[in-house]
Amino acid sequence: MKRPIKALLICVLVLCTIGWLTYNRASQSAEFSPAEIAGFVTDDYVGSEACKDCHEEQFKAFSHTPHSRLTGNNSWKGKVTGCESCHGPGKAHIEEGDPKKIISFKSKSSKEVSETCLSCHAGKEDHNNFRRGEHWRNDVGCTDCHTAHSAVATGGNPGSNTLVSEAERRNRDLLAANMLRGSEPQLCISCHRETKAQFSRPFHHKVLEGLVKCSDCHNPHGGFELKQTRLATGTDAGCLKCHTDKQGPFVFEHAPLKVEGCASCHTPHGSSNAKLLTRSTVRQLCLECHSNAHEIGAPDTPNFHNQATLRYQNCTTCHSRIHGSHADRFFFR
């Protein structure tokens, strides 16, 4: 076995051992989320109604969120729900009026805030890699995008007629469903500003127009895929969710599609070049790979493809089935 693979296995084994030891050591204390642990000490919990007297505004907003409805959910009976599921027992805080007697998130780090959310949300397939995701790594937490208290954004200012603008008049009510701080394209763009320029190019996926959402292709909560992209139909790249005719399998595959992915030729966010290509002329794109290349699969450009003539400068004119073909090994038909 080669050395790097050995090193990998050792790393995995060490981590597993640490985990196993930690699990055994901590197994005397039951494995419960903070909300569940709190459920056993009922005397300290006073219920969300008690919070309403002082925090009326937050309570009113919270009462319209999906969190507030857990109280009536059978599977949450006996568990702490409402304000105290995140802020902890409120009895001492109410009796003494001391802000220190309640959990406040104002001075907590993004990761600490996220840990509170993950105590309930980590189990879902969409969320269970958050602790290894790009946002976690860069200390971007749940409440940077979501809000536990806010209801429907008031928004509604007039904006662009064709684009989902900052003024956000479209789909604003969707914010309530996922408790987001803003509409999705604009929320993501507020940090990933360069994407606005990319999505404004002549050729682009219609994200700013509202047809496609960032989260259609990316999982903001992390994932095993690089760039947190989503998968489509099992193991396939997210692009194939909509571009179904490129999925194959083809008898004659253009190997880079399956090996390197669509982004080896296309810029998915937007491009001035037709078909979202990374180069303005197709032959540049083809020649950059089909030079000094492998013997099969990607041979060098044949001698008779005289680049001094227009005929051979338009590679995909003949190789029209460049994504894969059942009928021709040269992708002619």
- Nearer Cβ to other proteins, position 95 or 156? 156
Nearest to 67 by CA among 151, 130, 145: 151
Residue 94 interacting with other proteins (CB under 8 A):
no
Of 45-53, 85-93, 96-104, 116-124, the segment contacting other proteins by CB under 8 A is 116-124
Tokens standing for residue 45: 């919990």
Residue of 41, 49, 96, 132 interacting with other proteins (CB under 8 A):
132
Residue of 5, 53, 99, 100 interacting with other proteins (CB under 8 A):
5
Residue of 63, 102, 117, 268 interacting with other proteins (CB under 8 A):
63
Gap between the Cα atoms of 277 and 322, Å rounded: 13
Residue 76 interacting with other proteins (CB under 8 A):
yes
Residue of 47, 209, 266, 323 interacting with other proteins (CB under 8 A):
209
Residue 247 interacting with other proteins (CB under 8 A):
yes
Residue 194 interacting with other proteins (CB under 8 A):
yes
Residue 279 interacting with other proteins (CB under 8 A):
yes
Residue 1 interacting with other proteins (CB under 8 A):
no
- Nearer Cβ to other proteins, position 96 or 314? 314
Gap between the Cα atoms of 267 and 54, Å rounded: 52
Residue 307 interacting with other proteins (CB under 8 A):
yes
Name the CA radius of gyration of the chain, rounded: 27
Residue of 39, 47, 52, 64 interacting with other proteins (CB under 8 A):
64
Gap between the Cα atoms of 123 and 218, Å rounded: 19
| Distances from the Cα of 23 to the Cα of 28, 31, 115, angstroms | 9, 9, 18
Gap between the Cα atoms of 82 and 68, Å rounded: 6
Residue of 92, 117, 176, 180 interacting with other proteins (CB under 8 A):
176
Tokens standing for residue 76: 């949450």
- To other proteins, the closest distance from the beta carbon of 80 in angstroms equals 13
Q: Which residues contact 146 (CB under 8 A, 6 or more apart)?
A: 117, 178, 179, 180, 181
Tokens standing for residue 272: 């001035």
